[in-house]
């Protein structure tokens, strides 16, 4: 069975922040499509089909500071399933559990202390906000620009 971009994302999210190293990322995602260097560090760019992933590395510590993920335009998950909403447990659910329940998000940003995932449903946008990888709150907002 082929490894999908969603599988790779899930493998990356499973890593604890302190264990995200350049070698680990390369073993999961392969070599980056492009690398940009700056005074503060480097940015690795990946393109996996319609999925784009960006990792920012600190020059001082060598650790990953942030990664962001986005899936191609027009990605819609269909209608939002209210049964899944009942399973979203603030204060108890972690990012890995949310990804297992909802699948890969349309967009995601992971920083040291906070993480945000966005899911695009027909007529709605679901935003999940995590602090230290634990769900703090979520909101289902009507999407007026479809």
Looking at residue 26, its pLDDT comes to 92
* 141 within 8 A of 125, measured Cβ to Cβ: yes
Residue 71: per-residue pLDDT: 83
Q: What are the domain boundaries of the chain?
A: 5-141
pLDDT at site 146: 47
> Is there a contact between 90 and 135 (Cβ–Cβ < 8 Å)?
yes
pLDDT in tens, the chain (146 residues): 567 766 777 788 777 777 788 999 999 888 999 999 999 899 999 987 788 889 999 888 888 888 898 887 655 667 778 888 889 999 999 998 998 898 888 899 988 889 999 998 888 899 999 999 999 999 988 865 54
The strand ranges marked E within 49-99 are 51-58, 64-70
Domain 5-141 CATH class label? alpha beta
Contact (CB, 8 A) for 143 and 120 = yes
DSSP character string of 25-36: HHHHH-S-SEEE
């Amino acid at each position: 069975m082929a490894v999908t971009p969603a599988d790779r994302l899930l493998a990356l999210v499973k890593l604890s922040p302190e264990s995200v190293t350049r070698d680990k990322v390369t073993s999961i995602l392969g070599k980056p499509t492009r690398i940009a260097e700056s005074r503060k560090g480097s940015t690795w760019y990946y393109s996996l089909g319609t999925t784009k992933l960006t990792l920012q590395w600190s020059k001082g510590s060598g650790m990953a500071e942030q990664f962001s993920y986005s899936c191609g335009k027009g990605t819609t998950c269909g209608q939002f399933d209210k049964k899944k909403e009942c399973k979203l447990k603030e204060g108890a659910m972690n990012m890995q559990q949310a990804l297992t329940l909802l699948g890969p998000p349309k967009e995601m940003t992971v920083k040291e202390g906070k993480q945000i995932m966005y899911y695009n449903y027909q007529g709605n946008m679901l935003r999940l906000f995590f602090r230290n990888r634990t769900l703090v709150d979520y909101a289902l907002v009507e999407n007026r620009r479809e």
